Structure 1
Amino acid sequence: MDAPAAPITDDPSGLHRRLTSRQLTMIGLGGAIGTGLFLGSSLAISQAGPATILAYVICAGVALVIGWSLAEMVVVHPEAGAFGAIAHRYLGPWAGFVVRWTYWTIQVIAIGGEVIAAGIYVQFWWPSLPLWLPVVVFSVVVLGVNAIAVKLFGEVEYWFAMIKVVAIVVFILLGVLLITVGLPGAEATGTANLTAHGGFLPNGVSGLFLAMVFVLFSYIGTEAVSVTAAESENPVRDIPRAARRMVTRLALFYVAAIAIVLTVVPWTLTAQGGEVTESPFVSVFSAAGIPAAATVMNFVVLTAALSSANTNLYLTTRMLHSLASNRYAPAWTGRLSASGVPRNALALSALGLALAAGVSAASESEAYLALFGVSVFGALVVWLIILLTHHAFRRTRAAQGLPPSPVRLWGAPVTSGVVMLFLAAVLVSTLFIESLRPAWWAGVPFFVILSVAYVVASRRTGSG
């Protein structure tokens, strides 16, 4: 049951509570729905074939536990820094330092990749255009949107994410028609592709688990809603509502879309991946007689990339602002503009964006593999720390005789414990997957360096 409305007051850190419930839901979806879904999710499908559908269902359950545990905590502590600040409170300064700097780093890396991707999508229309030009233009656009006011950011992200959602809904509806009754000029496909080419589970249970390793990363971004708590108009009411809507819609979109992809197109073809023109979305739109289907799809993946970059830039600035409040980042990154935006933190994140974008452009370099590894390792560690924080949150409040949160994760600590074991297993399994092995050789040194930085920072500030 939703909590009663409370008067709107700005966060004590100075951030303005201007984000509405509808914006929060779309921010969560915008952060989680990337370009991978539209281009086929080929890595996961190559491992599990049609059983990739099950992988998306299972990982949706993982995302639901993460999202609901965050909602339980942030309605009690709707403060800047979200899970990072709460980890600081319940697990100690080291955890708060590490999880926030890690999250800042992986999101900066993600922004660099997204603006590069957006530039490549523009080259679909203008192949001779130098890549740096759209990358610079899009970087300036997302910086401008984030710099003006949080209300503008929320509205722009709402419509960016809406384009993705509409594209997925249309795809699902057309896909159902194509499977069951056919479309003008295209006969019904039926469901034969789900069992052909080696059966529903062509590579066995091991293939299903490997697919889940890749699918899990599709749901990373669901924690974005919690970061908005300090700028939500009514966090006690809106954060749980947005978390519930965002995770359930995300799961529905992912599972339904992937089920249609695997039903309409043989999984052996989808597993090969390809460009926008080879996307299963384009195949279905073309069968439906939609003119210039590839152009429409390219526009969708372009907005998907810009949406992710826009949201991730927002997240990095709020994490830096929170770190500054604990004196774990330069004090100037905590200063706010008159409109309540941490523009100095935004500027520092933009420097990281430029570095990540430049390195991402050199996709064959060792530096890019290192960034990729830090991102994979860091994302899994952040989720593990969130669940550890949730366990400490419940234990500490019970020990102090404090009332429970108005939002409760069902089945905890069993559900959260099972998800922690699953995430740990995924983290270990990256050692045995060649494309994910950089997670360890880059991720472990990164955390060692981060821990050393914490020791230095805590001695300097006297807050260790």
Structure 2
Amino acid sequence: MTASNRSAELSNVLPETAATQVPLRKLQRSMGARHLIMIALGGVIGSGLFLSSGYTIHQAGPLGAIIAYGIGAVVVYLVMACLGELAVAYPVSGAFHIYAARSISPATGFTTAWLYWLCWVVAIGSEFTAAGILMQRWFPGVDVWVWCLIFAAVLFGINAISARVFGETEFWFSMIKVAAIVALIVLGGAAIFGFSPFSTVHHAPVFFSNFNTPHGLFPNGIGGILVTSLAVFYAFSGSELIGVAAGETKDPARNIPRALRSTVLRLVIFFIGAIAVIAAILPYKHAGLTNSPFVDVFDYVGIPYAGDVMNFVIITALLSAGNSGLFSCARMLFSLAREGHGPRVFAKLTRRGIPLVALSVSMVGGLASLISSVIAAETVYLVLVSIAGFAVVVVWMSIVASQFFHRRKFIQAGGDLKTLPYRTPLYPLVPILAFVLLFISLVAIAFDPTQIAALYFGVPFTAACYLFFWLRYGRKSKATGDAPLVMSAEDAEELDESTTA
């Protein structure tokens, strides 16, 4: 097929409302595998590990926390295995919402996009607030809102320059967090066996004696592990950012699978390794009583100025997560506009291939979320947080369901599995198992009083998205349903051009 014929075919994929409205520009494929890995790690490794891991140990017990994170790691692997096939088959920006639109229905893609956008908008606001509070350790005279505006301006500037600048920044942000985790695992692991070269106090080997608590291996029973598992699913959210960045990745057929495999492996090592070390050194009842168990472990092994070091690392982690979240929000709005299911102005790109309008609206949304956390914490912000927590699991469910239906359509169309650059293993077991586990986690929320609000607000919001789509675009609206089941990076770039031209 010639380039001109392929462009003509791709231009028929989307509705006419998305065509011929904005300048002929496209997203730039400027990020490699190392950028993707660090973007995913940047979205995942944040306050959940550095601040909340102690609570997890306190709730489930030392061994129970490791089991809970192990369950979470299995689910992440299943979701990433499904995402890999989709991202390589259709490497476009805002990826997994388009997968849902093509493989399930346009309304599902629309709903997935808005759920994910809202999830990160809420996260952006909370990351700014938390970072501003931590800055008061060093600058108590500066109000939190001042730091929030400074951080917002910095992250907006990073995202507005180019995708490569974003990727490089996120790479180094994530490197700081990874260095802190590796230091904890290595130095804390040595301290477990009695080696603490930096400490002036000689600590006897503790081995894993803390695992056998006065109340047994599972002090709060199996229920404590199950409730913690729900929180762990949320702690691993952000790994799917690799799919969002698919449209700006060089050689996606090679780099996306590499990034997915490396990300899952590193998450397993970092999360489970860090939890194991913390649980071995800190008594489980003490682990959830301080701001950061990392500070306690670094104090134990004799790291000077442990509090200040971890304060810097945690601020970096928060800004890294906010950076990834802002990137994701902008690409979701851009993708919706390109599909014809959002304001066309969101599809406008700068000369450097940045969806600046979508980026600006996402930043405004993040700041609005921040303001609501101050003036309407018990009403508006509660609703936003509840929907955001619900969205994580629902988006993952849409990814695995999209892979299931995409593979089935591919086979029914006579496709040869050998031609797929990356294949989800053990199909259909992997997507089915992932969907079932995620669905069980949603059902289990109903039995946890602290999380049930996610269902109260998340389910009606999802229904409202479907209803709005059907009223606005019709139940028979088509998005990318007629696109090729597998696209090369060149096809995806031509699709970008034909739908933003």
TM-score by length of 2: 0.87
- Which residue number in structure 2 is paired with residue 85 of structure 1? 98
Aligned to 1:248: 265
Mark the runs of 5 or more structure 1 residues left unpaired by the alignment.
1-11
Aligned to 2:42: 30
1:246 CA displacement: 0.7
**How far off its partner does 1:459 sit?**
4.5
> Superposed, which structure 2 residues align to 1:189-268 within 5 Å?
189-268=206-285
* Residue 363 of structure 1, CA deviation: 7.9
Alpha-carbon displacement from aligned partner over 1:220-279 (angstroms, at most 9, x marks no partner):
11100111111001100000000110111011100000011111001111133x32xxx2
Separation in 2 of the partners of 1:450 and 1:363? 23
Say whether the 8 Å CA contact 1:40–1:261 is kept in structure 2. no
**Other-structure match for 2:7:** none
1:41 matched to 2:53? The reply is yes
User: Given the alignment of the two structures, is residue 383 of structure 1 paired with residue 396 of structure 2, yes or no?
Assistant: yes
**Is 2:209–2:280's contact at 8 Å kept on the other side of the alignment?**
yes
- Which of residues 426, 448, 451 is equivalent to 1:411? 426
Q: Is the 8 A contact 2:108 2:466 kept in 1?
A: no
Name the structure 1 match of 2:492.
Answer: none
Q: How does 1:1-40 map to 2 (within 5 A)?
A: 14-40=26-52
Partner of residue 489, structure 2: none
Give the partner amino acid of 1:455: W
Q: Distance in 1 between matches of 2:270 and 2:342?
A: 38
Whether contact under 8 Å (2:37, 2:263) holds in the other structure is yes
SS at match of 2:250: coil
1:463 offset after TM fit, Å? 4.7
Deviation at 1:128, TM superposition (A): 2.9
Picking from 165, 177, 195, the partner of 1:152 is: 165
CA, structure 1 residues 222+156, in 2 after alignment: closer, same or farther (shift >3 Å)?
Answer: same
Q: Distance in 2 between matches of 1:374 and 1:186?
A: 49
Contact 1:116/1:361, CA 8 A, preserved across alignment: no
Instruction: Supply the AA of the counterpart residue of 1:15.
Output: L
Structure 1 or 2, whichever has the larger Rg, is 2
Letter of the 2:323 counterpart: N
For 1:186 and 1:102, the matched residues in 2 are separated by 51
Which letter does structure 2 place at the counterpart of 1:224? L
Residue 154 of structure 1 aligns to a residue whose secondary structure is helix
Alpha-carbon shift at residue 199 of structure 1 (Å): 2.0
Aligned residue in 2 for 1:7: none
User: Which amino acid is the alignment partner of residue 340 of structure 1?
Assistant: G
SS of 2:471's partner is helix
Alpha-carbon distance between aligned partners in 2 of 1:204 and 1:392, rounded to the nearest angstrom: 38
- Structure number with greater CO (CA < 8 Å, separation at least 6) is 2
Q: C-alpha separation between the residues in 1 aligned to 2:33 and 2:307?
A: 33
User: Any conservation in 2 of the 1:102–1:378 contact (CA below 8 Å)?
Assistant: yes
**1:175-194 to 2 correspondence within 5 Å?**
175-183=188-196, 184=199, 185-187=201-203, 188-194=205-211
Number of positions where the alignment pairs a residue of Structure 1 with one of Structure 2: 449
Q: Letter of the aligned partner of 1:72 in structure 2?
A: E
TM-score by length of 1: 0.93
Distance 2:376 2:170 in 1: 28
SS of residue in 1 equivalent to 2:50? coil
Alpha-carbon distance in structure 1 between the residues aligned to 2:455 and 2:477: 32
Matched, 1:359 2:376: no
2:372 counterpart SS class: helix
Following the alignment from structure 1 to structure 2, what is the Cα–Cα distance between the partners of residues 321 and 380?
A: 23
Indicate conservation of the 8 Å contact 2:25/2:351, yes or no: no
- Same amino acid, percent of matched pairs: 37
Instruction: Please report the RMSD computed on the Cα atoms of aligned residues, expressed in angstroms.
Output: 1.7
* Structure 1 CA distance for aligned equivalents of residues 356 and 451 of structure 2: 35
* Cross-structure match for 2:298: 285
**Larger deviation, residues 372-381 vs 158-167:** 372-381
SS in structure 2 opposite 1:434?
Answer: coil
Task: Work out whether residues 44 and 236 of structure 2, in 8 Å CA contact, stay in contact via their aligned partners in 1.
Answer: yes
> For each residue in 1:412-462, what CA deviation from the matched residue of structure 2 results, as whole angstroms up to 9, or x when unmatched?
211221221111111011112121111011112211221222123314996
CA apart distance, 1:211: 1.2
SS of the residue corresponding to residue 138 of structure 1 reads: helix
State whether structure 2 residue 444 is matched by structure 1 residue 429: yes
CA displacement at 1:403 relative to structure 2? 2.5
* Counterpart selection for 1:337 from 338, 350, 360: 350
User: What does the per-residue CA deviation read over 1:340-364, in whole Å, with 9 as the maximum and x for residues that have no partner?
Assistant: 0000100110110111111234584
1:134 aligns with: 147
Consecutive unaligned residues in structure 2, runs of 5 or more: 1-23, 480-501
- After TM superposition, give the deviation of residue 409 of structure 1 in Å: 2.0
What does residue range 34-73 of structure 1 map to in structure 2 within 5 Å?
Answer: 34-50=46-62, 51-73=64-86
Equivalent position to 1:271, from 258, 264, 288: 288
Alignment correspondent of 1:162: 175
The ranges of structure 1 where at least 4 consecutive aligned residues each deviate by more than 4 angstroms after the TM superposition are: 459-464
